[in-house]
Amino acid sequence: MQIINCVQGTDEWFEYKRGKPSASRYSEIVTSTGEPSKSRVGYLYELAAQRISGIYEESHKSKAMMDGNEREAHSRWRYAMENDVVVEEVGFCLSDCGRFGASPDGLVGDDGQIELKNPIGKTQIKRLRELDSLVSMGYYQQCQGQLLVTKRNWNDFVSCYSGLPLYTIRVEPDHEFLIKLERELVAFCEELDEICEKLGDA
């Protein structure tokens, strides 16, 4: 793994991500069972356009998503305090092959990392009361994909809302799923290279 030291959300970070599959979008490549996603082609074309044109078109963010991003620093601090750990912020992490990556919200010691979510209040209550799974919330591929890239032993999925308890799920590598994910990522990147080679020279 190569760590690109940049601040997430900046122009530099977007430039490093441009044209590369990133863990937050792995669900558009593969389903939680390891099969190709129906969204695969759309994401493939999006990345091809980024790579060929040099333009990164950021997807729309709702107000709730922007509010969540603004609360991320507090959530990271709160997780660190409640677990008595140091969380190191990172920019973009590249896989060993350099073709795909991930942006975990922090590294913990030598073994762990975190993925922070900052939902609205009623969503946090639902997660706490119903003990929602990563699959039902739609974050399984992202959390496993981060582990694939960083090669760490665990990933804490942390959902945070001020005044309510943290909802934390410790995710360990699902090796069977990771084999399928890596296979689909390699195939995806090869097809992406082929499209860019043909259209980039057109």
Which residue ranges make up each domain of the chain? 2-200
20: number of Cβ within 10 Å: 18
Question: Residue 160: what pLDDT?
Answer: 97
Q: So what's the pLDDT on residue 4?
A: 87
- What's the rounded Cα separation, in Å, for the pair 54 and 74? 34
What was the pLDDT predicted at 57?
75
Q: Can you name the CATH fold of 2-200? A: Lambda Exonuclease; Chain A (3.90.320)
Q: Which residues pair with 4 in a beta bridge?
A: 92
pLDDT, residue 70, reads: 74
State residue 61's pLDDT score: 52
d(CA 171, CA 154): 6
DSSP secondary structure, the chain, as one string:
-EEE---TTSHHHHHHHTTS-BGGGGGGTB-TTSPBPTTHHHHHHHHHHHHHH----PPP--HHHHHHHHTHHHHHHHHHHHHT--EE---EEEPTTSS-EE--SEEETTTEEEEEE---HHHHHHHHHHT--HHHHT-HHHHHHHHHHH--SEEEEEE--TTS--EEEEE---HHHHHHHHHHHHHHHHHHHHHHHHHHT-
pLDDT at position 201? 59
pLDDT at position 53 is 93
Point out the residues of the chain with pLDDT beneath 50: 62, 64-65, 68, 202
**Prediction pTM value:** 0.92
pLDDT of residue 202: 44
